[in-house]
Structure 1
Amino acid sequence: MSFIRTFHGDVEPSTLGVTYSHEHIVCRPSYWVEQKADDLLLDDKEKSKLDVLDFKNLGGQTIVDATAIDYGRDVNAVKEIAEETGVTIIGTAGFNKSFLWNAPIPEHVKQVIGDFKTYYEWIETKSIHELADFVIQEIEKGLEGTTIRGGQVKFGTGYNRITPLEEKTLRAVAIAHHETKAPMHSHTEAGTMGFEQIELLKREGVNLENISFGHMDRNPDPFYHEKIAATGAYLSFDGISKIKYAPESTRIQSILDLVRKGYEDQILVSGDTARKSYYKHYDYGLGLENILGKWVPRFVEEANLNGFDGQHLINKFFIENPARCFSFKK
């Protein structure tokens, strides 16, 4: 028996529908607040909701909000967006990468985790099992003391390195995964350290078929992608629309290379839309509508030209694969 845990409660995987597998909807990361990096603060619920409605109007049904506690979640605002739009939203327990942790903890979070000055201090002070217990609570009881339960567990590592505290959170999240059966998600900075993460996860006894590796398109290396896919893991190409990192042709070629090698069942697609300048209704960016509205038609055309059934692959990446990837398998 399997199910998917959402802001609306537990649902059958078959009901998920068209899914963006990695987005951020409303968040105020304290690190970026301290840096006065306004572009990285998605702090207007109504503007975020308009982009979610654009997604819905193009046939979108579910969004995975990959915002962990250390990235400034606003759980109640996202819940309201889910209720007001009818879009299913999946929440995230766990952690992000370590450079975000040297920032003040908001008062409402201190009420949940204790009176620590920074996330770094919290993670350093607590044992692996204490951190795991916190993640388990967020899956089984609710995110940040609410009754809204998380639908996946997340950890992250930095660019070309894994710090001792990042390894600590990875191990805590692995324990929480074993306890709750929640699917896992990995932040890989610029697509690096996937192999090293895999070795650590294997030591923790994690079945890699239960994890998605984020930001794979930031490191468009066919050998790297194939080796990760061979473990059974999902690869998340979640940088769609970010031409500053690579043209869409690079992403599409990377995806089609994996399809040729037989890994079409392990590919996820999304935008990681985490800046005002990426959102249409904040700062006139391409918005949440861009993937379904423009990228999908282009992908279908290119896939067809390369001898594939483009629409079949889109159904895999946005419907069938997310329904499996984000399932709790009891």
Structure 2
Amino acid sequence: MEPSQAVCRTVRGDVDPGALGRVLSHEHLLSLLVGPGALGRDADAAEFDDAQVEAAVTALSGLRELGFGTVVDLSPYGDVGRDAHGASVALLPRIAEAAGLHIVSGTATYREEFSPEWVKQTGIDELVRRFVADATTGIGTGTGIGGSGVRAGILGEQPTSEGRITEHEERGLRAAARAHHLTGLAISTHTTHGTMALEQIDLLEDERVPLDRVVIGHMDNHPDLDYVRRVLDRGVTVGFDSIGKQLWDVRRPPLPDQHPDGPYTKAAIKQSDRTRAHRLAALVAEGYADQIVLSQDLTGGQMWLNPATHGRHGYSYLGRVFLRQLEESGVGGEAVDRMLIANPARLLSVPAR
């Protein structure tokens, strides 16, 4: 694709890929008032919308000074701040204007336990139609009840569960793959702790998706670097996209009402950024810098659980703190530019239409 023929689709319109600057490739800008310890408050819908915009703009402050020009919001339908019909996406242009940044919106379904009822009952052909409408006429227009006016610029984050791919998840992945062929948009996935990455690739390859248009997400959370290498060797890009998320509770559906009072088991994860930096340095030294993108996957709950990283620095943590750790691990500026600028621009580029 010639540069003059390519654009990146942002929530305020198409822009030249060279205008993106550094890119955070996996975020959730409407989730800062969602989750334990988040900054939510009792308010009517308009007040809550204003509060979401204000929280996002505050968390984004400082990014421009660090060379970042773009944030990719990968919130799926019915989860982490995005309502079932896309209306909340209409807040993203307000955030982009106030923060002075480009924002790219994804479109996706999520794991069944967090999905709205319409997703659970929708067949693959209707999901494809929905994703294509989100990309061409605006997120939510496929519902027939109006939409956000915001066109999706990427398909994702499309998920799989820990250690398995459910029928619901396979349907979503195949729908994203078929929507890719109709829109040209890249696909970004969610793996649960890095599991099922190779199976995701097999499924997308079965749908004839070119693997250089695929990002396999959350691979910085897989404990085996050799497994990450196997994923990279298939030709996809991987996301080291949980930077700053050193402690987090594993998300589970709410306990049923009939669960007895008393203790219950809840899993949690620790993954230090020092480990992430050392693993990234190893992969860069081995020649994989052209296949890695970086981000933080920041939410309100993660700000509470990680007060020294997300809680203190917001979206600036990666550029302000983590890049110094990468430099100390031997990763130079040219490799950083590939992971933060060149690779995202390539993935977000689509033919002008």
Q: Same fold (TM over 0.5)?
A: yes
Cα distance 1:5–1:235, how it changes in 2: closer, same or farther (>3 A)? same
Alpha-carbon distance in structure 1 between the residues aligned to 2:36 and 2:300: 10
What are the residue-to-residue correspondences of 1:131-210 with 2, within 5 Å? 131-144=127-140, 145-154=147-156, 155-210=158-213
> Is the counterpart of residue 318 in structure 1 residue 340 in structure 2?
yes
Residues 247-269 of structure 1: CA deviation (Å, up to 9, x unaligned): 11211122122222221101111
Q: One-letter code of the match for 1:294?
A: V
Q: Distance in 2 between matches of 1:28 and 1:293?
A: 20
Shift of 1:228: 1.2
2:280 is equivalent to residue 255 of structure 1: yes
* 2:72 corresponding residue in structure 1: 64
Question: Retained in 2: the 8 A contact 1:185–1:212?
Answer: yes
Provide the C-alpha distance between the structure 1 equivalents of 2:37 and 2:182, rounded to a whole number of angstroms.
38
Match of residue 62 from structure 2? 54
1:130 to 116, 126, 133: 126
Select the residue among 21, 25, 32 that pairs with 1:21.
Answer: 25
RMSD: 2.2
- For the residue of structure 1 that corresponds to 2:344, the secondary structure is helix
**Alpha-carbon separation, structure 1, partners of 2:32 and 2:64:** 24
Q: Distance in 2 between matches of 1:124 and 1:242?
A: 30
Structure 1 portions without partners, runs of 5+: 102-118
Is contact 1:277-1:285 (8 Å) kept?
no
Count of aligned residue pairs for this structure pair: 300
Aligned mates of 2:39, 2:99 — CA distance in 1: 24
Name which of 11, 33, 37 aligns with 2:15. Answer: 11
Q: Identity of aligned pairs, percent?
A: 32
Aligned position for 2:93: 79
Instruction: After superposing the two structures, state which structure 1 stretch, 219-228 or 229-238, moved more.
Output: 219-228
8 A contact 1:220–1:251 mirrored in 2: no
Cα separation, 2, equivalents of 1:235 and 1:194: 10
Letter in 2 for 1:221: D
SS of residue matched to 1:293 = helix
Cα distance, 1:286 vs structure 2: 3.5
Determine whether 1:99 maps to 2:113. Answer: yes
Show structure 2 runs of 5+ residues with no match.
41-47, 83-87, 141-146, 248-269
CA contact (8 A) 2:154 2:187 kept: yes
Q: Do 1:64 and 1:91's aligned partners in 2 also have CA atoms closer than 8 Å?
A: yes
Partner of 1:88: 102
Q: Is the CA contact 1:300–1:314 (under 8 Å) kept in the aligned structure 2?
A: no
Tell me the alpha carbon deviations over residues 104-157 of structure 1, each in whole angstroms, 9 at most, x when there is no partner.
Answer: xxxxxxxxxxxxxxx2x3234222111110010000011121221011012111
Secondary structure of 1:91's counterpart equals strand
Judge conservation of contact 1:13–1:327 (CA < 8 Å) in 2.
Answer: yes
Which range moves more in the overlay, 217-226 or 192-201? Answer: 217-226
Kindly indicate which of the two structures has a greater share of residues assigned to helix. 1
